[in-house]
């Protein structure tokens, strides 16, 4: 096992797949010699050269148009959109072209394409550079949606995304880039569409994604130590495909569900999970489903205000305690 940061795991995954498959190419703004604005791709151009690792103009539509064409003609491109907020600039290509052309061509065109992006808040970048937009992508048929919480999952899930025959939107939570963890040596691949149970408990199931996962784990410790409440913590990891089996099995056992999501409250991914649980497990529930979310507001840039609106450990604990009463 190696100790890698979340950002180093990005480079480890891409380099692993580029060594194994000459068809893998990487493009984006300042991703080559500069190593990316978040330093997630340092060393890639030095190892693989300027043909396979290319800088692009500041033009999100051009980046994804080129990546789409590359995928259609036999390559396996990885494209970076610097901030996930900028998907708004090129959303037509994602939604109406990349997500639909395989279907509309009756399978004649394949799209082994990964679009990476820095997502979410916590880094004080303000309303236009801090949005958590994975729920945008989740609503579009034809896209797979992945959001890892740990360095090991970054490497394993990004490798699986690059190998996948369908387009994958890979959201990297920018406040996690500096976090470190053990990452398996050698070839590492994690299956898409498989949630991970990180902690077993008997009283409540807490379901989180990306930066909300470490907060959920910390909340579970406090709930056990201070309140005697035993919580299962599940890292969703992949929104599409969604591992409902793991979630259902846990909620059926605990009888209570709390989702923790960085999305604004209206139409967040937790609403879909809550709806599915309510439909399938209504008679197993011992209380209402609770969603801990960001309010439906643009994210502030001021430290205190951003911290106040993002889901916190204290807010998770408070909601679980209220549910368990």
What tens digit of pLDDT does each residue of 210-244 get?
999 999 999 999 999 999 999 999 999 999 999 99
Task: Please give the average per-residue pLDDT across 82-99, as a whole number.
Answer: 97
Burial of 39 (0-12, 13-18, 19+ CB in 10 A): middle
Task: Please give the average per-residue pLDDT across 81-89, as a whole number.
Answer: 97
What is the predicted pLDDT for the residue at 13? 97
What is the chain's mean pLDDT, rounded?
Answer: 96
pLDDT per position as a tens digit, 248-267: 999 999 999 999 999 999 99
Classify strands 231-235 and 204-208 as parallel, antiparallel or unpaired: parallel
Q: What is the pTM of this model?
A: 0.96
Domain 2-183 of CATH type 3.40.50.970: yes
Q: Which of 130, 236, 155, 150 is nearest to 193 (CA)?
A: 236
Predicted confidence (pLDDT) at residue 2 exceeds the cutoff of 90: no
What is the predicted pLDDT for the residue at 109? 87
CATH number, span 196-324: 3.40.50.920
Instruction: Return the residue matching tokens 């791709």.
Output: 41
Other beta carbons within 10 angstroms of residue 46's beta carbon come to 12
Boundaries of every domain in the chain: 2-183, 196-324
Catalytic residue among 102, 129, 144, 174: 129
pLDDT per position as a tens digit, 162-207: 999 999 999 999 999 999 999 998 899 999 999 999 999 999 999 9
Q: Do domains 2-183 and 196-324 have the same CATH topology?
A: yes
Q: How many residues does the chain have?
A: 325
Rounded-to-integer distance, Cα 219 and Cα 318, Å:
9
Active site (annotated) includes residue 129: yes
pLDDT per position as a tens digit, 22-50: 999 999 999 999 999 999 999 999 999 99
Res. 146 pLDDT band, cuts 50 70 90:
very high
Q: What is the dihedral of CA 161, 139, 137, 58, to 10 degrees?
A: 140
pLDDT per position as a tens digit, 102-118: 999 998 988 899 999 99
End-to-end CA distance of the chain: 42
- Cβ–Cβ < 8 Å for 30, 57: no
Rounded-to-integer distance, Cα 185 and Cα 255, Å:
39
Residue-wise DSSP of 101-145: HHHHTTTSS----EEEEEE-SSS---TTS----HHHHHTSTT-EE
> Residues with Cβ < 8 Å from 144, sequence gap 6 or more?
161, 164, 166, 167, 168, 169, 192, 238, 240, 241
Bridge partner residues of 264 (DSSP)? 294
């Amino acid at each position: 096992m190696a100790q890698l940061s979340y950002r180093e795991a990005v480079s480890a995954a891409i380099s692993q797949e580029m060594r194994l498959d000459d068809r893998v190419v990487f493009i984006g703004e300042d991703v080559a010699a500069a190593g990316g604005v978040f330093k997630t791709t340092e060393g890639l151009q030095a190892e693989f050269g300027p043909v396979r690792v290319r800088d692009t103009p500041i033009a999100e539509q051009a980046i994804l148009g080129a990546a789409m064409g590359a995928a259609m003609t036999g390559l396996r491109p990885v494209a970076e959109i610097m901030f996930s907020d900028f998907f708004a600039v090129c959303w037509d290509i994602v939604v109406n072209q990349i997500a639909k052309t395989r279907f509309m061509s009756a399978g004649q065109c394949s799209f082994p394409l990964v679009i990476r992006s820095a997502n979410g808040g916590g880094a004080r970048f303000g309303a236009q550079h801090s949005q958590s937009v994975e729920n945008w992508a989740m609503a579009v048929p034809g896209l797979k949606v992945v959001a890892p919480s740990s360095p090991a999952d970054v490497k394993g899930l990004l490798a699986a995304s690059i190998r996948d025959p369908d387009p994958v939107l890979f959201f990297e939570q920018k406040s996690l880039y500096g976090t470190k963890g053990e990452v398996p040596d050698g070839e590492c691949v994690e299956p898409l569409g498989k949630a991970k149970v990180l902690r077993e408990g008997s009283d409540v199931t807490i379901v989180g994604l990306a930066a909300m996962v470490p907060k959920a784990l910390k909340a579970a410790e406090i709930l056990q130590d201070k309140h005697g409440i035993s919580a299962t913590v599940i890292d969703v990891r992949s929104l599409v495909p969604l591992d409902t089996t793991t979630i259902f099995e846990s909620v059926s056992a605990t009888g209570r569900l709390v989702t923790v999501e960085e999305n604004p409250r209206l139409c967040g991914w937790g609403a879909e999970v809550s709806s599915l649980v309510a439909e399938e497990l209504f008679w197993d529930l011992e209380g209402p489903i609770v969603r801990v979310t960001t309010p439906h507001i643009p994210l502030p840039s001021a430290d205190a205000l951003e911290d106040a609106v993002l889901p916190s450990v204290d807010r998770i604990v408070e909601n679980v305690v209220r549910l368990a009463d």
